[in-house]
Amino acid sequence: MAKAMSGQNPVTPDAEGLAAAAKAATRAAEEAAGQAPGKARGLPPVHLWNPPFSGDLDIRIARDGSWHYLGTPFTRFELVKLFASILKLEDGRYYLVTPAEKVGITVEDAPFVAVDFEVAGEGRDQVITFTTNIGDTAAAGPEHPIRVTRDSASGEPSPYVMVRAGLEALIDRKSFYRLAELGEHHDGWFGVWSQGAFFGLIPSAELEAD
């Protein structure tokens, strides 16, 4: 799912300028919604923002979920959270969007990493709630499906869970191993239940062959 920047020349706006625009847009959205500053915030309404494409910015999200600008890792977690809140997927490409700007960025795999999960309930009624590296949560289910791809050469699995609006989190290795401990066989697959939906992790026949 890695999507690189387009072949256009990078734009001149820097990360700080984009961050300032994002903060201003977020404050305006909160005021319009009647939210008091400093209270718990929802996500900015990026689905309503459709500015013209401004070009590409040299921001990269690595497979481990770390963010880099001009080749240097971000050191301010607050800035990562801010940019993650204005991240948008359109036609297979990733953008950071404000009401006035839309800049393309590079995502090596998925934009987020699921670093932990909690389980409530049992069997088909259990709910598996993932937490990402930036603190978002997503309860796996029909609206937040789990999927697994396999490397064509090595067969190595890459598991993902949908977080929001087409943006997925790569489930880290330790969490995937824990997830497998919850697994059971159903309709020819070994997988897990969450919110009444079954998500296959590996064909049952492959486990039986092992």
pLDDT for 17 equals 80
SS (HEC) of the chain: CCECCCCCCECCCCHHHHHHHHHHHHHHHHHHCCCCCCCCCCCCCHHHCCCCEEEEEEEEECCCCCEEECCEECCCHHHHHHHHHCEEEECCEEEEECCCCEEEEEECCCCEEEEEEEEECCHHHCEEEEEECCCCEEECECCECEEEEECCCCCCEEEEEEEECCEEEEECHHHHHHHHHCCEEECCEEEEEECCEEEEEEEHHHHHHC
Tens-level pLDDT at each residue, the chain (210 residues): 555 454 444 445 577 788 888 888 777 777 766 655 544 457 899 999 999 998 999 999 999 999 999 999 999 999 999 999 999 999 999 999 999 899 999 999 999 999 999 999 999 999 999 999 999 999 999 999 999 999 989 889 999 999 999 999 999 999 999 999 999 999 999 999 999 999 999 999 988 765
pTM summary value: 0.87
